Amino acid sequence: MKWLKAFLAGIAGAAVMTIILSVAIAAGFRVLDFSMMWGTLTGLPIGVEAWLAGFSIQLVVGGLFALIYALVFNIFYGAGALRGGGIGILHALITGIFLPLLPLVHPLMNNGRMQIPGAYFSGHSIAGVLFYFGMHIAYGVTVGWIYSRLVPETRDVANSDDWRIAA
């Protein structure tokens, strides 16, 4: 498994996710802007500086999640867009449960200055839920596709760094 390549694929996936969110927000769809959420969580006021700080955090978080994806790819002998999209669904299922807890840690959600998304963006009806899952599928597809290009599959057991073979 190649940790740095997985991390870079995750940064690309997080960038794709941010683009999708930004386009949706620009089109008038009211959803939680993850970059703004991360940035204001640091204590910065709502604004460009908070968004840029939050975007940086979002990229790092995306890179870290991709390490988990790469571990799953390694266990199941390969990456790819389809496999990444499947993991993206699981990613959304697990992380979406915790969204209602955000007001416990985010001061701007406590005072109403930032919207509370609800589980799986359910605060935005079924469209929000579908959007939440779609974003995570897009992230997974991006990570899976890029990682499969950066780390081609190998069947050469003698020269493999596969931890399952060494055991």
How many domains, the chain?
1
Structure confidence at residue 31 (pLDDT): 81
Residue 118's Cα: distance from chain center in Å? Answer: 17
DSSP code at position 99: G
Nearest to 138 by CA among 91, 78, 77: 91
Summarize pLDDT for 7-29 with one digit per residue, the tens.
999 999 999 999 999 999 899 88
Tell me whether residue 121 is in a domain.
yes
Summarize pLDDT for 20-65 with one digit per residue, the tens.
999 998 998 888 888 999 999 999 999 999 999 999 999 999 999 9
Tell me whether residue 162 is in a domain.
no
Sign of the Cα torsion 28, 29, 31, 34 reads negative
Is the pLDDT reported for residue 70 higher than 90?
A: yes
Is the pLDDT reported for residue 80 higher than 60?
A: yes
Is the pLDDT reported for residue 132 higher than 70?
A: yes
Tell me whether residue 158 is in a domain.
no
Tell me whether residue 100 is in a domain.
yes
Structure confidence at residue 158 (pLDDT): 47
Summarize pLDDT for 82-121 with one digit per residue, the tens.
999 999 999 999 999 999 998 888 888 877 788 888 899 8
Q: Is the pTM of this model over 0.75?
A: yes
Tell me whether residue 86 is in a domain.
yes
Tell me whether residue 114 is in a domain.
yes
How far is Cα 71 from Cα 86, in angstroms, rounded to an integer? 14
Domain that holds residue 53: 3-152
Q: How confident is the prediction for the chain on average, in pLDDT?
A: 88
